[in-house]
Amino acid sequence: MDRKEFLSIAGITAASFALINCMGCSKQSDNASAGITGPTGVDFTLDLSLSANSALLVNGGYLASKGVIVAKTTTGSYIAVQQSCTHESYPLIYQSSGQQFFCNNHGSAFTEAGVVKNSPANRNLTVYQTTLTGTSLRIFS
């Protein structure tokens, strides 16, 4: 039995089959436009004296922890945003040379303030606050 015979027996016409497929596409599109928000209730501390966090001792360095990207800008400020892209949740990277967060999946980019710079993402990133006390860097909502 080929596909056409199967669909005929099942009572599914080509038009209804296409409609079923389009329903799936519509749902995916809706999810994409709704965006992905970052974690809520964020409050954790990174000890910058630990080698695991040493990337944050260098201007332009960054790491990801608990769904958050924490970066040290080229001017030495600490910034933190949600790790997942607001388009389809792909993990972002920090690009200090372009002063932006970038998504390798479809090319969206966000400023260091989390604002959409390049689509297809159309929703800004959730931004977190940072406070440095000695070698303890607190990241919080």
Backbone torsions φ then ψ of 80, nearest 5 degrees: -150, 135
108 is a site residue for ligand FES (CB under 6 A): yes
- Comparing CB distances to ligand FES, the nearer of 39 and 120 is 120
* DSSP conformational letter for 138: E
Q: Interface with ligand FES by CB under 6 A: which range of 3-11, 54-62, 63-71, 99-107?
A: 99-107
How far apart CA 124 and CA 113 sit, in angstroms, is 9
72 is a site residue for ligand FES (CB under 6 A): no
117 is a site residue for ligand FES (CB under 6 A): no
- Peptide bond just before 91 cis, omega within 30 deg: no
Pair 85, 35: CB distance under 8 Å: no
85 is a site residue for ligand FES (CB under 6 A): yes
Distances (CA, A) of 63 to 12, 97, 103: 51, 16, 15
How far apart CA 109 and CA 124 sit, in angstroms, is 10
Contact pick of 56, 70, 79, 103 for ligand FES (by CB under 6 A): 103
In one letter, which amino acid is 125? L
Residue window 22-61: x/- pattern of binding to ligand FES, with contact defined by CB under 6 A: ----------------------------------------
Residues forming the site for ligand FES (CB under 6 A): 85, 87-88, 90, 103, 105-108, 120-121
